[in-house]
Amino acid sequence: MQAELAKRKACSSAKCAATIASRQCIPHHCPFCLNEISQREKNSLQKTWALLITAIIFIFPANLYPITYLLKNSTLYPDTIFSGILSLVDSGMQGIALIVFIASIVVPFVKIIALSVIAFSVQYGWNVNPKKQLLAFYLVDWIGKWSILDLFVISIMVAIFDKGQLLSVYPGIAATSFTIVVITTLFAANSFDTRLIWDAQTDE
């Protein structure tokens, strides 16, 4: 019991994850990576929830509204993420369509769901394997960075086609919403203190 209590009072670095005995927390810096150490990151769960809720709100306009507008012969053609994927499939670019589908639709939804489940399990002390939670968190955090691929695709399309002639491409409202989703999920993962996962298990 005393060993468990001492472990929970120990400090650790959020960068190198080194565990430091509580009596060595006084310098407030990790002896290994020299970063600031603390028992837990302040308001970590609250920050994560605030960013996640923002992402949940904007994920719907990001997928329902046009992400690009194609101006051709004075006619404006709106394209959502999904309709753009279908256009790629019709053009015979199934590989690119699959990449865009995974990066633009699957990854953002999976990341929001995974982070929400982890946050709920921490907040309510759900009996979920902490090692599996950590594995899911690090996997989603790494894969989630590829969500910004769609924004690069839009930027390239605008740069190629926007010549002020008969054919032009403009970003739509969904592009802004999608950017917000990508940024908020990235910050949500970055603000989450993974040490809370172990706290939730020992609090039971």
- The enclosing domain of 187 has a CATH number of 1.20.140
Q: What are the backbone angles phi and psi of residue 113, rounded to the nearest 5°?
A: -65, -45
Asked if residue 178 and residue 103 are part of one domain, the reply reads yes
Place of tokens 């394997």: 129
Q: For the chain, what's the residue count?
A: 204
Per-residue pLDDT at 97: 82
Is the CB of residue 123 less than 8 Å from the CB of residue 197?
A: no
Q: Which of 143, 129, 124, 123 is nearest to 192 (CA)?
A: 123
Asked if residue 72 and residue 47 are part of one domain, the reply reads yes
Is the CB of residue 170 less than 8 Å from the CB of residue 69?
A: yes
Cα-Cα-Cα-Cα dihedral sign, residues 146, 55, 176, 42: negative
Q: Which of 179, 129, 182 is nearest to 154 (CA)?
A: 179
pLDDT higher than 60, residue 163: no
DSSP E strand boundaries for the chain: 11-13, 19-20, 37-38, 68-72, 75-79, 167-171
Specify the number of domains making up the chain.
2
Asked if residue 45 and residue 27 are part of one domain, the reply reads no
Is 7 in a helix, a strand, or coil? helix
Residues of 26-64 as b/e, b for ≥16 C-beta within 10 angstroms?
Answer: eeeebeeeeeebeeeeeebbebbbebbebbbebbebbbe
More confident residue, 161 or 122: 122
Asked if residue 63 and residue 5 are part of one domain, the reply reads no
Place of tokens 């039971």: 204
Asked if residue 118 and residue 108 are part of one domain, the reply reads yes
Instruction: Tell me which residue range forms the domain holding 4.
Output: 1-39
Q: Which of 19-23, 31-35, 97-101, 182-186 has the lowest mean pLDDT?
A: 19-23
Is the CB of residue 173 less than 8 Å from the CB of residue 58?
A: no
Asked if residue 193 and residue 131 are part of one domain, the reply reads yes
From residue 114, give the alpha-carbon distance in Å to each of 92, 97, 140, 184: 33, 24, 7, 14
Per-residue pLDDT at 4: 40
Asked if residue 19 and residue 108 are part of one domain, the reply reads no
Asked if residue 80 and residue 33 are part of one domain, the reply reads no
Read off the pLDDT of residues 39-91 as tens digits, 9 standing for 90 and up.
666 788 899 999 999 999 999 999 999 988 877 777 778 888 888 888 878 88
